[in-house]
Amino acid sequence: MAIFSRRTRIAAPLSAVWEFHSTLDGLRTLTPAWMNLEIHTVTGPDGEADPAELYEGTQMDMSMRPFGVGPRQRWTSRIVDRTESDGYAMFRDDMLGGPFELWIHTHEFYGDGDETILVDTVEYELPFGAIGRAGLPVSRVGFEGMFRDRHRRTKAALES
């Protein structure tokens, strides 16, 4: 299993950064346009369609077509953990179906005065066994660009 992590300081309070990441609007804002994201259905833990916040048990059915090339890739994600406490918040999602053998994404938020430390950590396995493992260096390059862009978008949306 490979691990990718990115950490960024956001000049905004934890409550604002947490709220931004807890909604579908946040997901849409953070996803680069070149991913061509479509969110098909979102179901809350109680079966509610399109919940206002993404709680533990929420499931999202999406598709992507990176750079507009090839067929759309289906992706089903589920929030498996969500925690809020004084000075810290996190949520974790996993992939139930999609282009990776394994995908676990942990989003952590550490309050630091009027600022927040944002840490994204992805544990993943590429498909196709040994052939996929040979592609790990390339995947890191893609993740670096994608998460650098996500963190830049977070700063742009929340820092004023």
pLDDT tens digit sequence for 133-148: 777 766 777 889 889 9
Give 81's strand partners: 92
CA distance between the termini of the chain: 38
pLDDT confidence of residue 21: 96
pLDDT at position 129: 79
The average pLDDT across 23-47 equals 92
pLDDT at residue 39 in the model:
95
What is the predicted pLDDT for the residue at 32?
81
Q: Which two tokens stand for residue 24?
A: 């579908």
Cβ-proximal residues to 116 (8 Å cutoff; 6+ apart), any chain: 9, 10, 12, 13, 14, 16, 17, 18, 109, 110
d(CA 44, CA 118): 25
pLDDT band at 42 (very low <50, low <70, confident <90, very high): very high
Q: Distance between CA atoms of 51 and 12, rounded to whole angstroms?
A: 25
Q: Give residue 133's pLDDT.
A: 75
* Cβ atoms of 6 and 147 closer than 8 Å: yes
pLDDT in tens, 72-107: 999 999 999 999 999 999 999 999 999 899 999 999
**Residue 82: which of 56, 116, 104 has the closest Cα?**
56
Say how far apart CA 99 and CA 63 lie, in whole Å. 10
DSSP class of residue 72? P
* pLDDT for res 35: 87
The predicted pLDDT at position 57 comes to 97
Distances (CA, A) of 85 to 32, 110, 119, 131, 157: 30, 10, 16, 42, 23
Position 145 scores a pLDDT of: 87
User: What are the tokens at 73?
Assistant: 């890739």
Which domains are assigned to the chain? 2-30+77-158 (3.30.530.20)
| Banded pLDDT at 66 (limits 50, 70, 90) | confident
Give the strand pairing for 59-64 and 2-10. unpaired
